[in-house]
Amino acid sequence: MTKAKSAKKVLDSFLVKGTDKSVRVGDTVLMRAEDSEKPPYVAKIEKIEADSRNNIKLRVRWYYRPEESKCGRRPFHGARELFLSDHYDIQSADTIEGTCTVHTFRNYIKLETVRADDFFCRFEYQAANGDFTPDRVAVYCICGLPYNPDNLMIQCEACKDWFHGHCVNLSTEQVITTEKYMCTGCSNTPENNRNKGIAPDT
Ligand SMILES: [Zn+2]
Ligand SMILES: [Zn+2]
C-alpha cells in the first residue's frame, strides 16, 4: 500500500546550507570547483530532488567560461561572459557557494555597476562539437570584431557604426566627453556632409 521509503521528492526550492538563501528551479548558482585554484562553476538549476534523508541533488545545466570552450577566449569575449551549454549534470547541493545573475547581453550593458556575481550570456554552446548559437554576431569598428562590453565604444553620428576608443585613437576620457563623433570614413565622404536635400533614389 505505502510507497517505498526511498522515494525521491521533487522540490521547487531549498535553502543553501549555512545560509538563509533560497534557491529555486531556474536560478543560477556558483558551484565550488574541485580545483580550489579555479573560479567556481556557474550552473542553472533545472531540477531539485531530495531523498528520504534530505540529501539534495540538483540537475544542472552548465555555463562555460570562454577559456573552457574549444575556441578559447577571444578578444571580443567580455570578462563576465558565459556560454549556456548543452552539458547537463547531477550535482550535490552541498557544492553551492552562492547565487549569481546571468544577464542577457542587452541588460548587461545597461548595468550601472557590475557586481562580482553579475555575468552575461549571448551564445549557447554545444560542448561536444564546440559550435555556437548564433554562429555569427554583428561586428563593428575598423577592427571588425563583435562588441566586447569591457571596451568602451563610441558611435559615429553619420553611419551609426560603433568604434573602440583605442582603435580610433581616442582615450577613455575622450570617448566619454565627446558628444558628437564622426568616424574617419564619414568625415572624408562628401555625401555625408550634406545634411539637406532629397535622398537620391539609387
Ligand atoms: Zn575596434
Ligand atoms: Zn561613420
pLDDT at 151: 84
CB atoms closer than 10 angstroms to residue 155: 14
Cα(147) to centroid(ligand 1), Å = 9
Q: Where in the chain is the domain with CATH 2.30.30.490?
A: 9-137
Cα(81) to centroid(ligand 1), Å = 19
pLDDT at 109: 86
pLDDT at 190: 63
Q: Where in the chain is the domain with CATH 3.30.40.10?
A: 138-193
Cα(172) to centroid(ligand 1), Å = 14
Among the bound ligands, the one closest to the CA of 183: 2
The residues pairing with 91 across neighbouring beta strands, listed in sequence order, are 58
Examine the pLDDT at 100 and tell me if it is beyond 90. Answer: yes
Examine the pLDDT at 198 and tell me if it is beyond 60. Answer: no
Cα(166) to centroid(ligand 2), Å = 16
Query: Which superfamily is assigned to 9-137 in CATH?
Result: Bromo adjacent homology (BAH) domain (2.30.30.490)
Among the bound ligands, the one closest to the CA of 144: 1
Examine the pLDDT at 202 and tell me if it is beyond 50. Answer: no
pLDDT category at 6 given cuts 50, 70, 90 is low
- CA 59/CA 76 separation, integer angstroms: 31
For the chain, the first-to-last Cα distance in angstroms comes to 81
Does the domain formed by 138-193 have CATH 1.10.3720.10? no
CB atoms closer than 10 angstroms to residue 99: 17
**Contact partners, residue 75, CB within 8 Å, separation at least 6:** 145, 148
Examine the pLDDT at 194 and tell me if it is beyond 90. Answer: no
The residues pairing with 145 across neighbouring beta strands, listed in sequence order, are 140
Among the bound ligands, the one closest to the CA of 157: 2
pLDDT at 54: 86
Condensed to tens digits (0 to 9), the pLDDT of residues 14-43 reads 998 888 889 999 999 999 988 888 899 999
Cα(187) to centroid(ligand 2), Å = 7
Average pLDDT rounded to a whole number, residues 99-128 = 94
pLDDT category at 3 given cuts 50, 70, 90 is low
% of the chain surpassing 90 pLDDT: 69
Q: Peptide bond before 200: cis, by omega within 30 degrees of 0?
A: no
